[in-house]
Structure 1
């Protein structure tokens, strides 16, 4: 089966209202769906859509999640946010280099690393580097939910999570990226909530095991040329 593909639109400037799904910037963009769920999870299948765009300074993204059983307790950078109601963006700018995992709980807390060997070990992965607090501060995160959601919200809840990742941050690990337009990168997007009452593990490009760190399952992201 060929890899899934998605074209990342170019925008001249970052969205002034990062969470406006139907706003002036995000409104006309196509979205992709995180709808490939692992059978190990519960029957809960939150409707999760994502829009992606790039500007000269970096990558922008916006998740929209129609969810239930929403829970969020981790508030510190590099905490285990995947155990909360969480969305994730993995991106590999260069085929011969590693990939980044940017994981956000619905309250806006970030976990992020640069991973060159995702083989599982007792301490995480065989070869990886956690982003420093200063680097984490370079990733802008926007969220509609409060930082802490506890107790769990059982009823249907619509929430949004937006992000901006500067290209400079990626280049500090993989080297110069050059002209972004026309490039093809690899990656994936995920929705999970390991410690909720209804755990689930969903992906955009399907994964062949209960493990999001499988680069061979990544899809392709094409960077559109700027419109003239």
Structure 2
């Protein structure tokens, strides 16, 4: 059954306290460490898509400081977006110290860093508290238009999955919003994305 999430309209910075959250709660590949993780989305028509993710996790591992580096080895929050469940998709992978891996392409190992595309790179902000951490992403409408000809308009639709992972953390783990039915760890699987419906 297809998972769906309704993306609310906003006139500026979203009021996150009023926006429903989705649960990143599907353990994948034998994961037993399952910190509570949520996502929220909003959009401003013609301007930007906003994503907020939060994880109840103290002292997240954060070693990667190189932009577009191997952040998935750290404690990592990720949003993957696409115009369809096949073809090109964008991966945004973030650690708690503001390092962002952002690329696009149609294959896991054949990707272009967004920094090389000439399109605006998403803006990432992070916050770390004693028992949780969060990321906030702002993705310019110009970027989605340039990648896919996609417009942020009421009635529009994107496809996405949201993840929490940490390949080299003390308790390696893989969590997703939509289940990923593959034999080995691999989040590059748009065929399993859910739908984001723009209200």
Cα distance change, pair 45–136 in 1 and its aligned pair in 2 (3 A): farther
State the 1:62 CA deviation: 1.0
Q: When the two structures are superposed, what TM-score results if normalisation uses the length of structure 2?
A: 0.90
Contact 2:50 2:138 survives alignment (8 Å): yes
Unaligned runs of 5+ in 2: none
Taking only aligned residues, the RMSD between alpha carbons, in angstroms, comes to: 2.1
* Distance 1:96-1:87 versus aligned 2 partners, 3 A rule: closer
Q: Once the 2 structures are TM-superposed, how far is the Cα of residue 157 of structure 1 from its aligned partner? A: 2.1
Residue among 79, 100, 111 paired with 1:110? 100
Name the counterpart of 1:218.
Answer: 193
Q: Within 2, Cα distance between the matches of 1:201 and 1:95?
A: 21
Given the alignment of the two structures, is residue 87 of structure 1 paired with residue 77 of structure 2, yes or no?
yes
1:140 aligns with 2:123: yes
Aligned residues: 196
Who is 1:190 aligned against?
A: 163
Matches for 1:52-201 after TM superposition, within 5 Å: 52-56=41-45, 57-68=47-58, 70-94=60-84, 97-118=87-108, 125=109, 127-132=110-115, 138-145=121-128, 157-175=131-149, 177-178=150-151, 180-201=153-174
Go from structure 1 to structure 2 and tell me whether the alpha carbon gap of 1:223 and 1:60 turns closer, same or farther (over 3 Å shift).
Answer: same
Instruction: Tell me how far 1:100 sits from its aligned partner.
Output: 0.5
Q: Distance in 2 between the 1:60 and 1:219 partners?
A: 17
TM-score normalised by length of structure 1? 0.79
